[in-house]
Structure 1
Amino acid sequence: MSDEALKELGDYISGALGAAVLKAEVAHGELMVTLTREGALRGIQFLRDDSTTRCEMLADIAGVDYPNRPERFEVVYNLLSVKHNHRIRVKVTTDEDTPVASIVSLYPVAGWFEREAWDLYGIFFADNPDLRRILTDYGFEGHPLRKDFPLTGYVELRYDEEQKRVVYEPVTLRQDFRSFDFLSPWEGMTDVQLPGDEKAVIPLGAPTPAAKR
């Protein structure tokens, strides 16, 4: 759809949903609609059911973290209309304590996406029937995609070959950053020879591959 057609669609949605729409704009060739948290469920149901929008498919739900904002999280819903061949991106904001209405009743697949947003960001979805961690371990502390999540200080789960059992231990990094001077290797790899490393050393006086040609 052209930007003008998307703008007209945004105006139509704003008129239909009224105060539930905080903003409707066209950016990067897509329509983005920001809804109030209270009007999110009704607004997304409208986008699914209305004959003009008809977003039959929920492609994804993503979280975004802006720690300096009063409501630090954005919940981003990517909707697709197969019938009209257009996409609508819906945004809703919330904080660490206020839940967002689950849309599992509208799109059953949302259950998986909401679990991921809860696990990685700590965004709570009210009335989700199975809001458990999905990518981290059940005993994991914190939410690793938050901007203030520390790089060290938590525990990781791994199998210990010596003890022949699963163990928990503090997460530590080999180094904080890598200096790309092409001279210093990764810390911890100085005394490890990988298969093929011997080919990188040419004995003194030996002909180079180019000379052999």
Structure 2
Amino acid sequence: MSEATSEPAHVLAPLQAHCAELLGDRLLDARIAYDELTVEVPAQRIVDVLTVLRDDPGCLFKVLLDVTAVDRPENEQRFTVVYHLLSMKHNRRIRVVVATDEFTPVPSVVPVFSTANWFERETWDMYGVMFSDHPDLRRLLTDYGFDGHPLRKDFPLTGYVEMRYDPEQQRVVYEPVKLRQDFRSFDFLSPWEGSGLLPGDEKASN
């Protein structure tokens, strides 16, 4: 099995032109950056677009490598959902992106690529991007009772709750986050915890 590698722009230009002709009005943008072709399409057309890219003889992107998202809270459509595809026949990769907000679901592509099942579940779990008609859209990496979506830019670093095993109740319990700084022993001579005079610094003044 050959490994797909990045290609210079002049090699990807024919594929870019082919995708532009193939997708027509479904194509919002096509650009080559970092030796990879990225095409942007409307979110509601993603199933149709991926089907065409999978089946067209000039593309044959039959492997869905990943589905993930990028969060830009300052944008009206804060999420960019990213699909990475591989053509083993032509030894090429392509990136397909769609934009959505936190309330508008993106059609699930599980009917086109069965591997999208867990990828979309992970994207829902981490970012809160919804996928309509998904056969089993539930959390994948966090607990079922988890509050929020950890990879959103506005998710607090400490989380909302912490969990521990309670031996009396013999189950896992959730509690508000507690930062127990008063029990911490600070070493102010450590370069990681203090900015005072460190051992050996006195030599610099002599």
Scaled by the length of structure 2, the TM-score of the pair is 0.82
What is the DSSP-based 3-state SS (H/G/I as helix, E as strand, rest coil) of the residue aligned with 2:28?
strand
Match of 2:74 in 1: 68
Deviations 1:142-181 (A, max 9, x none): 1111101123461233223576432111234567xxx9x6
1:120 corresponding residue in structure 2: 126
**Change in 2 beyond 3 A, CA 1:167/1:4:** same
Secondary structure of 2:53's partner?
helix
Q: Aligned runs of 1:111-190 on 2, under 5 Å?
A: 111-152=117-158, 154-160=160-166, 164-173=170-179, 182-184=191-193
The count of aligned residue pairs is: 183
C-alpha separation in 1, matches of 2:192 and 2:110: 52
Give the superposed CA RMSD. Answer: 2.3
1:24 maps to which of 25, 30, 44? 30
Separation of aligned partners in 1, 2:38 and 2:149 = 27
Give 1:208's aligned residue.
Answer: none
Deviates more, 1:135-144 or 1:152-161: 152-161
Residues 2-30 of structure 1, C-alpha deviations (whole Å, 9 max, x = no match):
42231221111111111111111111111
Number of the residue aligned with 1:43: 49
Q: Measure, in 1, the Cα distance between the counterparts of 2:179 and 2:47.
A: 42
CA distance in 1, matches of 2:180, 2:18: 54
Residue 138 of structure 1 and its aligned partner are, at CA, apart by 0.8
Q: Which amino acid aligns with 2:98?
A: V
1:34 Cα deviation after fit: 0.7
Out of 6, 24, 34, the position equivalent to 2:40 is 34
Going from structure 1 to structure 2, the CA distance change for 1:173 and 1:17 (only over 3 Å counts) comes to farther
SS in 2 for 1:53: coil
Higher Rg? 1
Between the aligned partners of 2:161 and 2:118, the Cα distance in structure 1 is: 25
Larger RCO, structure (CA 8 Å, separation 6 or more): 2
* Equivalent-residue separation in structure 2 for 1:20 and 1:172 (angstroms): 50
User: What's the secondary structure of 1:138's corresponding residue?
Assistant: coil
Cα offsets for 1:176-205 (capped at 9, x unmatched):
xxx9x62529xxxxxxxxxxxxxxxxxxxx
Gaps in structure 2 of 5+ consecutive residues: 1-6, 182-187, 195-206
Tell me the residue number matched to 1:193.
none
8 A contact 1:31–1:89 mirrored in 2: yes
Q: Which amino acid aligns with 1:12?
A: H
SS at match of 1:168: strand
Normalising to structure 1: TM-score of the pair?
0.79
Task: Report the residue type matching 2:138 in the other structure.
Answer: R
Cα distance change of structure 1 residues 157 and 10 upon mapping to structure 2, 3 Å threshold: same
